[in-house]
Chains A and B, each alone.
Chain A
């Protein structure tokens, strides 16, 4: 098992604030995905990053893959209540098996 630790585990912020979620591991991954899960639903893919140092933007969300491909971050600018949910990172090893992180539960208060 390749452990992926996310921090923080819980985050409660006011609408309009910025935040960063971290996904860290001692293992190298060939690619990394971020998913968001809303209550009562399954996770939905937000982004896939494959190159060390890669940065991808999805509206107010910015995703970065670490240079060594062991870690990733998700930054949200001007958070909205619609951003509320559980954020999960998932790293793929050379065998293309995905290992999920421990999750970050985000609540954005209007």
Chain B
């Protein structure tokens, strides 16, 4: 079975803290994505990666950075967490190269609360 694993289901952090959200996939997929999900706004793309050490900005990259040192792992970093980053964060992976339109496989999500 396809598996995307997010390291933390629930996190509570304070304003200004550095936050790491980890995502690992076991399907050897080239493409990995980080979305945030907020009620009434659907899923918004933060960053994505088509290959190791490669990253591209999505629609809302401000306040976030990412790291992809290994093919199976894609990390989302909040350098200085703010209250408006309280949200559900979803990691996804997808097979194929840059032209792939295949299925997105999602993790279970990480709910972050910033106080």
A residues engaging B (CB < 8 A)?
A: 1, 4, 6, 9, 30-31, 33, 35, 40-45, 48, 50, 88, 90, 92, 96-103
Which of chain A's residues have a CB closer than 8 A to the CB of B106?
A: 42-44
* B73 contacts A by Cβ under 8 Å: no
Interface residues on B, range: 20 to 34
Nearest A residue to B33 via CB reads A98
Q: How far is the CB of A17 from chain B (nearest CB, A)?
A: 24
Q: Give the complex CA separation of A1 and B88 in angstroms.
A: 20
Of B59, B99, B108, the residue contacting A42 (CB under 8 A) is B108
**Contact of A9 with B40 in the complex, beta carbons under 8 Å:** yes
**Contact of A100 with B40 in the complex, beta carbons under 8 Å:** no
Which of chain A's residues have a CB closer than 8 A to the CB of B35?
A: 100
**Contact of B108 with A48 in the complex, beta carbons under 8 Å:** no
**Contact of B99 with A96 in the complex, beta carbons under 8 Å:** yes
For this complex, 9 residue pairs linking A to B, each with C-beta atoms less than 8 Å apart, are A1-B59, A42-B90, A42-B109, A43-B43, A45-B103, A48-B103, A100-B43, A101-B42, A102-B40
